[in-house]
Amino acid sequence: MSDRKLRLGAFIMATGHHIAAWRHPGSRIDAGVNIDHYIELAKTAERGLFDQVFVADSPGVARRGQADAFSRQGRVSYFEPVTLWSALAAVTQHIGFVATASTTYEEPFLLARKFASLDHISKGRAAWNVVTTGADDVHGNFGLTQHPDPELRYERAHEFIDVVKGLWDSFEDDAFIRDPASGVYFDPAKLHAINHHGKHFKVSGPLNLERSPQGHPVIVQAGSSEPGRELAAATAEAIFTAWTSLAEAQAFYRDVKGRLAKYGRRPEQLLVLPGISPVIGRTQAEAEAKWAELQRLIHPSVGLGTLRAVWKDEDLSGWDLDAPPPYYPEPEKGRNSRQHVVLQLAQRERFTVRQLYEYLAGARGHWVVVGTPQTIADRMQEWFENDAADGFNVMPPVLPQSLDEFVDLVVPELQRRGLFRTRYEGRTLRENLGLDRPANRFTLQREAKAA
């Protein structure tokens, strides 16, 4: 039996990932601003021995569809993630916390300090999900007249991450002496300013916070476009991605792992974690009935709103819901990898408009699996053992109900097969993910000079 084990993250979307989850009796209507709800979810994920919990975030309200559709969506009010995870770190011991923050709309020094603080508060369980922010409805919140183009955003992201990592190394690991007898608190020779002067940023440093338990919080990335893959290969330690077939997932896995060598990295230094949204029943019929119940809750205007990410600026209100889309747009090159996934899915499965939005309503183009715990474990095992995934970002369709079902029914099945841990291996997120703790760049420089 292989020692390799699945890595599992719980991707938390307030009431759940299904677009109509807030209307389902198994959810909590006020989940986005209910701290007790999030405490319960974090504790459930920890009980299930998950590596991490993750929330997506955007610094703005996403407007999908016309006014009627917009009024019916349940995703317009939710906590800022680093604040939320700081609270949950106090009531958990092992689970890691992945928070989203934008390299387009934040500043390196403040972000570096925020995530280093979370790593200290959680005793080594913080991770940063790097996004360049694809939404076009955010720029006005930051005094900009338009959303920066993808090439500029990714160029800025590479430099941003390098600056943040340098700031996280401001203090060497042994800089703090804290000796009351001698009166020496720290060694100034082991405090370093990065004095960065680049195309997009000028940051002197140092960070006013000592190096955190993990050295650097784990860096996560979620882009599957060409520039997103390159950013992940250069900087990320885990990548969240969306595929709906084994062949597509295998191709992505090979591609992104194959890019690592040119950055001096090994394949195991980047974990590929596709999304999976499991609809679980003790029988297949029960699972399908649960899925049908959720689908009945979708209002057509909300369903059509999910297609606007693909058919941009198109008035879809006159489309025949029970016929195929009248046309398929050309994907935007280098811009929207999710658009590619949705178009491939729609054409491969020959979906009608209704079938397509019903599929997307479940998890926005991620892999939806409807079945028994054994069926779901079979599918996960197939991807894991055939170079398509190092683990999964589990996307419960309804919360808290679906996460409880996964922990109670699917996790024991994965454990029975020897695919998943039966106890945590360490105390930090890096230890549990099997990732190395990064060396301090200034320590390495000093040691190289001394050699």
| Beta pairing, strands 218-221 & 271-280 | unpaired
In three-state secondary structure terms, 400 is strand
Determine which of 63-67, 212-216, 419-423 has the lowest per-residue pLDDT on average: 63-67
For residues 401-427, one letter each, b for 16 or more C-beta atoms within 10 angstroms of the residue's C-beta and e for the rest, the string is: bbbbbbbebbbebbbeeebbbeeeeee
Cα(144)–Cα(311) distance, integer angstroms: 25
pLDDT score of 18 more than 50: yes
Which pLDDT belongs to residue 142? 83
Give the pLDDT confidence score for residue 279 in this predicted structure.
97
| Structure confidence at residue 336 (pLDDT) | 52
Q: Percent of the chain having pLDDT more than 70?
A: 94
Point out which residues pair with 369 in neighbouring strands: 278
d(CA 322, CA 274): 30
> Is cis: bond before 206, omega within 30 of 0?
yes
Q: Is the Cα dihedral 135, 336, 364, 407 positive or negative?
A: negative
Q: What is the mean pLDDT of residues 27-54?
A: 95
Query: Does the CA dihedral 148-79-278-7 come out positive or negative?
Result: positive
Residue 372, SS3 per DSSP: coil
Model pLDDT, residue 317: 83
SS3 of 272, please?
strand
Q: How far apart are CA 161 and CA 157, in angstroms?
A: 6
pLDDT digits (tens, 9 = 90+) for 68-110: 556 666 666 789 999 999 999 999 999 999 999 999 999 999 9
CATH of 7-281+367-450, one of 3.40.50.300, 3.40.50.880, 3.20.20.30, 3.40.640.10: 3.20.20.30
Residue with tokens 């998950």: 50
pLDDT of residue 138: 86
Q: What is the mean pLDDT of the chain?
A: 91
Three-class DSSP category at 368: strand
The pLDDT tens digits for 336-380 are: 566 777 888 888 889 999 989 888 887 777 899 999 999 999 999
Where along the chain do its domains lie?
Answer: 7-281+367-450
Beta strands in 253-312 (DSSP E): 271-280
Q: What is the mean pLDDT of residues 185-191?
A: 97
pLDDT of 1 > 50? The answer is: no
Across residues 253-268, what is the average pLDDT? 97
